[in-house]
Amino acid sequence: MLGLMQDRPMMISSILSFAAQYHGDVEIVSVTADNPRHRYGYADAHKRACKLANALQRYGVKLGDRIATLAWNDYRHFELYFGVSGIGAVLHTVNPRLFADQLSYIFNHAEDRLLFIDPQFIPLVEQLGTQWKSIERVVVLAPADKMPETSVDGLISYEEFISAESEGFDWPEFDERTASSLCYTSGTTGNPKGVLFSHRSTVLHTLTVAAASNMAIMPHDNFLPVVPMFHANAWGTPYITPTAGSKMVFPGAHLDGARLYALLEEEKVTMSAGVPTVWLGLLNYVKEQGIGFNHLQRVLIGGAAAPGAMIDSFEKDYGVTVNHAWGMTEMSPVGTIGNIKRGHADKPQEEILALKRSQGHAFWGCDLKIVDDQGNRLPEDGETTGDLYVKGYFITSGYYNNPDATSEAFDKDGWFQTGDVASIDKDGYLRITDRSKDVIKSGGEWISSIDLENLAVGHPDVAEAAVIGRPHHKWDERPLLIILPHDQDNPPSKESILSFMEGKIAKWWMPDDVAYVSEIPHTATGKIQKTELRKTFADFKFS
Ligand code: ADP
């Protein structure tokens, strides 16, 4: 017997319609190339998303067509999030930091029809556009009088593209499993793989992550997503914030510590989200200046492991609550969030901080399991580590047009293999110890490169740290610690770093050597690129 409840499909368009109706004058503030501070409300955003939807249909965009963007976080990109998906087309957000051949691969693989692009990225089209086979037209996210000078033919300004259209649009309802957006994960080897989200998965992820037990975003919050809208849908925050009716602050292109700090203060931002490298820049800036935050209350840190010293500094030095989160593009992307559960809240501060250093706890909608090499489930005792698998309402069921990658990514019961190695404790707190390809196997036992990195960056003279395994005659592999010092001319000695680490980890985990670099390579999504470091240190031998 079926229930007698309305079977209304979950549509992304309903999120913006709701915000327009009930939070219509709540501000969306943006820094764009043509305006240092653009302001309007959710009602205006909705009107312009309607104009865009009309313009796309007039152009001939159909259900399932892919529409690409190469753009920073701002209000026009936000309108695309709803205007494109709202008509049943697929918003394909592309990471402009990818390498040329990856960009060409992605555009051609996705077969995008239109490309909406920030003026700063026009040089990319000039250089590579002829290799992008399917793109019919490029729309520049700028007014007609601020169009860039370029040799590219047939460009049109976004404002001109939507100008003649009506501010009204009847958002269609269709199967909620319809594809809504597409995002390629950079991966460290091979070609990028497309994750194809649906309206249903997006709405369910939005509801779950927004919940008070998870992200807990409230109407009084002023939220600034540092995480780019071209990376895993900015962790879903462009959908989450309008449901809460919170003010949105889009930071545009420039996110060094000084500019980010200024924007946080001027727009009275209470909550923000981004990867550890961004917070490192911000914390260094406030430390150097001897200043604090007047409005910032919470930061969501994810995308890579947040070092304990960073969490401690936010919480203890600046009174900013940290929620450490873990996930992947394939998971929409949030899979765990670090809130303190009932029963832990009264613990001493040090114990609470230890919990906060974990990647957070499991929440409804995303199931976790750890398994051994044979796929047997391992105990969730907080000690045992194994390969981490996930299953749930907003987890991918396969890569877009990529049967090979799909066939490798799931176990026989349909659980998705994350490629991470982790432990889970009895309360569901997850601790990621490594990417499976980065673990260091010393004498058959695993050493967590992430734990060593997080510990090393706690040293006051270390700006960034990476650990890779290098061959060892006796133990197969041993850890090499690679350091980027704060002061290149005055780096901390090997002895000072190792004695700082001593006693805080098992003795046999101690790095066998320390190497110094002037730069640590990062992937397009801000993660340490260990493949590059392995190449750089290919000839390294422990003495
Ligand atoms: P990419 O496109 O680089 O794959 P993702 O954001 O999808 O980008 O990467 C997901 C991976 O990032 C995870 O599998 C995990 O290895 C790492 N990661 C994300 N958040 C955390 C975290 N809080 N701690 C440790 N690792 C993390």
CATH code: domain of residue 492? 3.30.300.30
Q: Is 102 in the pocket of ligand 1 (CB under 6 A)?
A: no
Last residue within a domain, chosen from 403, 437, 471: 437
C-alpha Rg value of the chain to the nearest Å = 23
Residue 95 lies in domain? 9-197+230-245
464 vs 478: CA distance, rounded Å: 20
Q: Is the same domain home to 428 and 452?
A: no
Amino acid of residue 84: V
Q: Is 357 in the pocket of ligand 1 (CB under 6 A)?
A: no
Identify whether 219 is part of a domain: no
Q: Is the same domain home to 304 and 235?
A: no
Closest CA to 253 of 284, 230, 272: 230
Q: Is the same domain home to 427 and 446?
A: no
Atom 9 of ligand 1, residue of closest alpha carbon: 328
DSSP codes of every residue in 216-282: ---TT-EEEE-S-TTSHHHHTHHHHHHHHT-EEEE-BS---HHHHHHHHHHTT--EEEE-HHHHHHH
The C-alpha angle 15, 17, 22, rounded to 5 degrees, equals: 95
pLDDT at site 474: 84
Identify whether 416 is part of a domain: yes
pLDDT at site 188: 55
From 299, 421, 432, 453, the mutation candidate for ligand 1 (largest count of ligand atoms within 8 A of CB) is: 432
Q: Is 420 in the pocket of ligand 1 (CB under 6 A)?
A: yes
Cβ neighbours for 386, distance < 8 A, ≥ 6 positions apart: 370, 371, 372, 378, 421, 422, 423
User: In which residue are the tokens 């066998």 written?
Assistant: 512
Q: Is the same domain home to 59 and 188?
A: yes
Q: Is the same domain home to 320 and 446?
A: no
Identify whether 204 is part of a domain: no
Query: Can you tell me which atom of ligand 1 is nearest the CA of 450?
Result: 25
Catalytic residue positions, numbered: 185, 330, 441, 446
pLDDT at site 267: 98
Q: Is the same domain home to 395 and 443?
A: no
| Residue 326 Cα distances to 41, 302, 372, 433, angstroms | 31, 6, 21, 12
Identify whether 222 is part of a domain: no
- pLDDT tens, the chain, 543 aa long: 999 999 999 999 999 999 999 999 999 999 999 999 999 999 999 999 999 999 999 999 999 999 999 999 999 999 999 999 999 999 999 999 888 888 999 999 999 999 999 999 999 999 999 999 999 999 999 999 999 999 999 899 999 999 999 999 999 999 999 999 999 997 655 789 999 999 999 999 999 999 999 999 999 999 999 999 999 999 999 999 999 999 999 999 988 999 999 999 999 999 999 998 899 899 999 999 999 999 999 999 999 899 999 999 999 999 999 999 999 999 999 999 999 999 898 999 999 999 999 999 989 999 999 999 999 999 999 999 999 999 999 999 999 999 999 999 999 999 999 999 999 999 999 999 988 888 898 887 888 899 899 999 999 999 999 999 999 888 889 999 999 999 999 999 999 999 999 999 888 899 999 999 999 998 877 788 898 999 999 999 998
User: In which residue are the tokens 């793109």 written?
Assistant: 135
The C-alpha angle 266, 271, 272, rounded to 5 degrees, equals: 90
DSSP codes of every residue in 361-387: EE-TTEEEEEE-TT-PBPP-SSS--EE
pLDDT at site 254: 81
Atom 11 of ligand 1, residue of closest alpha carbon: 328
Q: Do 306 and 353 meet the contact criterion of CB atoms below 8 Å apart?
A: no
Residue 378 CA to ligand 1 center (angstroms) comes to 22
Overall number of domains in the chain: 3
Last residue within a domain, chosen from 380, 409, 437: 437
Q: Is 449 in the pocket of ligand 1 (CB under 6 A)?
A: no
Q: Is 356 in the pocket of ligand 1 (CB under 6 A)?
A: no
Atom 6 of ligand 1, residue of closest alpha carbon: 328
Q: Is 303 in the pocket of ligand 1 (CB under 6 A)?
A: yes
Last residue within a domain, chosen from 416, 437, 458: 437
Query: Can you tell me which atom of ligand 1 is nearest the CA of 329?
Result: 7
Atom 21 of ligand 1, residue of closest alpha carbon: 304
Residue 301 CA to ligand 1 center (angstroms) comes to 11
Cβ neighbours for 309, distance < 8 A, ≥ 6 positions apart: 454, 457, 458
> Is the CA virtual torsion 140, 178, 62, 18 positive or negative?
negative
Q: Is 234 in the pocket of ligand 1 (CB under 6 A)?
A: no
Tokens of 450: 């992430």
Q: Is the same domain home to 317 and 285?
A: yes
Q: Is the same domain home to 401 and 487?
A: no
Identify whether 223 is part of a domain: no
Helices (H) and strands (E) in the chain, counts: 18, 25
Q: Do 71 and 95 meet the contact criterion of CB atoms below 8 Å apart?
A: no
Identify whether 298 is part of a domain: yes
17 vs 407: CA distance, rounded Å: 39
Query: Can you tell me which atom of ligand 1 is nearest the CA of 419?
Result: 14
Does residue 15 sit in helix, strand or coil? helix
Q: Is the same domain home to 260 and 150?
A: no
pLDDT at site 189: 59
Q: Is the same domain home to 453 and 431?
A: no
Identify whether 341 is part of a domain: yes
Q: Is the same domain home to 107 and 19?
A: yes
Identify whether 4 is part of a domain: no
CATH code: domain of residue 400? 3.40.50.12780
- Give, rounded to a whole angstrom, the gap between the first and last alpha carbons of the chain: 72
Residue 304 CA to ligand 1 center (angstroms) comes to 5
Residue 197 CA to ligand 1 center (angstroms) comes to 18
Q: Is 232 in the pocket of ligand 1 (CB under 6 A)?
A: yes
